[in-house]
Chains A and B, each alone.
Chain A
Amino acid sequence: MAETRSFVGGGAARWDVVHAVRCYGHIVRMWIRAALAYPASFWMTMAGNLAASGMDFVVIVVMFLHTHALGGWSLPQVAFLYGTSGVTLGLADIFVGSMDQLGVRVREGSVDTVLVRPVPALAQIAGDRFALRRIGRVLQSGAVLTWSLLRLDLSWTPLKVLVFASLVLCGTVIFGSVFVGGSACHFFMADAAEVQNSFTYGGATMLQYPPTIYARDIVRGTVFGVPLAFVNWLPALYLLGRDDPLGLPSWFRFASPLAALLCATAAGLLWRTGLRSYRSTGS
């Protein structure tokens, strides 16, 4: 089986990764072509995605009609959090978000068809029903992020540019890992698939607001538990020059790549465990 082949040796493993990415690309291209076959439907659902994710920002704007600061953060600063949270979740959602359908497949037993194909299961499941329309969230959040960057007037330094680039990249990896790890749990509890939403969409909603408004234990949980704080809160503290409500050492603000690496590893292990424990439906 394709999954076990990656253990054969170094050379084979590298070939496997390239093979997996290439297969993923094929599946993705197929789904994009399928979606674009109905252009009206595609553009409408994309606009819908854009509007749905924009609703959260409308709520924030309405809140700021009544105040100049929320938890001590100004509107452009909160918009920065909103934008980075939306862009990273949106990108992760595009690449691997369709995996939350895995619970249905486990229940139906249709994972069987995935396992008999000579393509890594992760590439197939992640690429399945790839939805380009989800780019709506990225575009909308990206627009808010651009506005906030123009308003914030950060005095850019090479280090800041680097931290910003790593925020987008690592944030996407962290959210992507939560999607993959959460989906792996569907192998054990197919009916409870919705729990995953708490960590992905719930987590993204949480990251739209400053960490100062939450109870300290909750913020601590996002640093040491499911490390969502590394997506945007901690890098934002550095970029916006704000104090850490937890008083963590300052290197935490630069530790997002480490957190992303840990997340990806944990998600990979969970995925393997889940896939191995898969027993078909028997019908």
Chain B
Amino acid sequence: MYAAVCLRSFRRYSTYRAATWARVFTNTVFGFILTYTYIALWHVRPHLGGYDLSAAITYVWIGQGLLSLLAVGDLGALADLQTRIANGDVAVDLFRPVDQQRWWLAVDAGRAGYQLLTNALVPMLVGGLAFHLRLPQGSAVDVVAGWAATALALALALVVSYALRYLVALTGFWLLDLRGIQLVYYLTSCFFGGFFLPVTVFPPALEAVARALPFIAVFQVPADVFLQHDDAAGALGALGVQLAWAVVLLGLGRLVQSRAVRKVVVQGG
């Protein structure tokens, strides 16, 4: 059933054609702007943060590609959950014999699948035409391993991102106005996720903070895996960190949800 939900969600998002292309265009424009700022910085400091120029440019375009897929700045499909919490429709959802967290994960996965084919792929292709991007390289085994690890890292990143957004959406049971918490989530996830600049470029103290937070599992890790920034052991360790965060945050989501459900008061008509 969750597969069917996922597929329907994919189809639903694929109907917003104009909005999708507008988003692709915006992401691409920002990709160009950021690329030039990175070129300027890496021109003065080659190999800054352990990336060569080509890897740094690729980092930008991965970011633009994954921005919508991982819903770094917004709630993704969970915007609907948030609306349903706000207007009370969530009471109907709770009545259904489905697991809320899995249901919305299926919806969000459908959304992400569609974004992968549009928002992730197109800016990457444009960036690849305009600049020299770094793809997984080395021996045939390395390349295959690189792509496989990237696919795994991306899936885990989506789950971590989903688990975080689920928590943000659930705060709607307690807070009336979610704009504040959404903005905090956006800023911290973008900055500490390494979305603006890789965390390896941060001052040491700030990097330590970023490494202790779950946000690197959303963006920095999949980007580094794709760029083969660390050796095989390092990449496996990073995937382990992602998995750990996914388990912890999903568990936390369940805990918060069980508390939240007790808060639901259905208004009589």
B29-56 interface bits toward A, Cβ cutoff 8 Å, 1 = contact, 0 = none: 1101100110111001100100000000
Which bucket holds chain B's interface residue count? 35 or more
**B26, A198: Cβ atoms under 8 Å?**
yes
By a CB distance below 8 angstroms, the chain B residues around A63 are 37, 41, 197, 201
Task: Say if the beta carbon of A62 comes within 8 Å of chain B.
Answer: yes
**A213, B45: Cβ atoms under 8 Å?**
no
**B18, A45: Cβ atoms under 8 Å?**
no
Query: CA A197 – CA B28 in complex, angstroms?
Result: 12
Query: CA A76 – CA B2 in complex, angstroms?
Result: 54
A residues 187-232 with Cβ under 8 Å of B?
Answer: 189, 191-195, 197-198, 202, 205-206, 209, 212-215, 218
A197 to chain B, nearest CB (A): 5
B184 to chain A, nearest CB (A): 8
By a CB distance below 8 angstroms, the chain A residues around B186 are 52
A273 to chain B, nearest CB (A): 20
Query: B176: nearest residue on chain A (CB-CB)?
Result: A41
- Which of A62, A67, A205 makes the CB contact (< 8 A) with B197? A62
Task: Say if the beta carbon of B3 comes within 8 Å of chain A.
Answer: no
B111 to chain A, nearest CB (A): 16
By a CB distance below 8 angstroms, the chain A residues around B180 are 44-45, 48
Task: Say if the beta carbon of A245 comes within 8 Å of chain B.
Answer: no
Task: Say if the beta carbon of B79 comes within 8 Å of chain A.
Answer: no
**B177, A62: Cβ atoms under 8 Å?**
no
By a CB distance below 8 angstroms, the chain B residues around A51 are 183, 187
Task: Say if the beta carbon of B16 comes within 8 Å of chain A.
Answer: yes
Task: Say if the beta carbon of A69 comes within 8 Å of chain B.
Answer: yes
By a CB distance below 8 angstroms, the chain A residues around B26 are 194-195, 197-198, 202
- Which of B40, B184, B202 makes the CB contact (< 8 A) with A209? B40
A75 to chain B, nearest CB (A): 13
Looking at chain B's contact residues, the main secondary structure is helix
**B29, A48: Cβ atoms under 8 Å?**
no
By a CB distance below 8 angstroms, the chain A residues around B39 are 213
A66 to chain B, nearest CB (A): 5
Looking at chain A's contact residues, the main secondary structure is helix
A-B contact count (CB 8 A): 89
Task: Say if the beta carbon of A70 comes within 8 Å of chain B.
Answer: yes
Task: Say if the beta carbon of A55 comes within 8 Å of chain B.
Answer: yes
Task: Say if the beta carbon of B147 comes within 8 Å of chain A.
Answer: no
**B45, A66: Cβ atoms under 8 Å?**
yes
Query: CA A42 – CA B132 in complex, angstroms?
Result: 46
**B18, A189: Cβ atoms under 8 Å?**
yes
By a CB distance below 8 angstroms, the chain A residues around B36 are 209, 213-215, 218
Given A205-B30, A213-B37, A218-B32, is A55 in contact with B196 using a C-beta cutoff of 8 Å?
yes
A residues 59-91 with Cβ under 8 Å of B?
Answer: 59, 62-63, 65-67, 69-71
A residues 228-270 with Cβ under 8 Å of B?
Answer: none
Query: CA A142 – CA B190 in complex, angstroms?
Result: 24
B14 to chain A, nearest CB (A): 14
Task: Say if the beta carbon of A18 comes within 8 Å of chain B.
Answer: no
**A191, B18: Cβ atoms under 8 Å?**
yes
By a CB distance below 8 angstroms, the chain B residues around A195 are 22, 25-26
B114 to chain A, nearest CB (A): 16
Given A189-B18, A192-B21, is A55 in contact with B33 using a C-beta cutoff of 8 Å?
no
**A41, B22: Cβ atoms under 8 Å?**
no
Task: Say if the beta carbon of B23 comes within 8 Å of chain A.
Answer: yes
**B48, A192: Cβ atoms under 8 Å?**
no
B68 to chain A, nearest CB (A): 11
**A70, B41: Cβ atoms under 8 Å?**
yes
**B22, A192: Cβ atoms under 8 Å?**
yes
Task: Say if the beta carbon of B213 comes within 8 Å of chain A.
Answer: no
Task: Say if the beta carbon of B19 comes within 8 Å of chain A.
Answer: yes
A215 to chain B, nearest CB (A): 7
Query: CA A164 – CA B231 in complex, angstroms?
Result: 52
**A48, B30: Cβ atoms under 8 Å?**
no
Query: A59: nearest residue on chain B (CB-CB)?
Result: B196
- Which of A48, A71, A189, A192 makes the CB contact (< 8 A) with B179? A48
Query: CA A215 – CA B35 in complex, angstroms?
Result: 11
Task: Say if the beta carbon of A58 comes within 8 Å of chain B.
Answer: yes
Task: Say if the beta carbon of B203 comes within 8 Å of chain A.
Answer: yes
Query: B45: nearest residue on chain A (CB-CB)?
Result: A66
Task: Give 18 A-B contacts (CB < 8 Å), ordered by A residue.
Answer: A48-B179, A48-B184, A52-B186, A63-B201, A66-B44, A70-B41, A191-B22, A192-B21, A194-B19, A195-B25, A195-B26, A198-B25, A198-B26, A198-B30, A202-B29, A209-B40, A213-B40, A218-B32
User: Nearest 10 pairs between A and B by C-beta?
Assistant: A191-B18, A213-B40, A194-B22, A198-B29, A192-B22, A48-B183, A67-B44, A192-B18, A195-B22, A198-B26
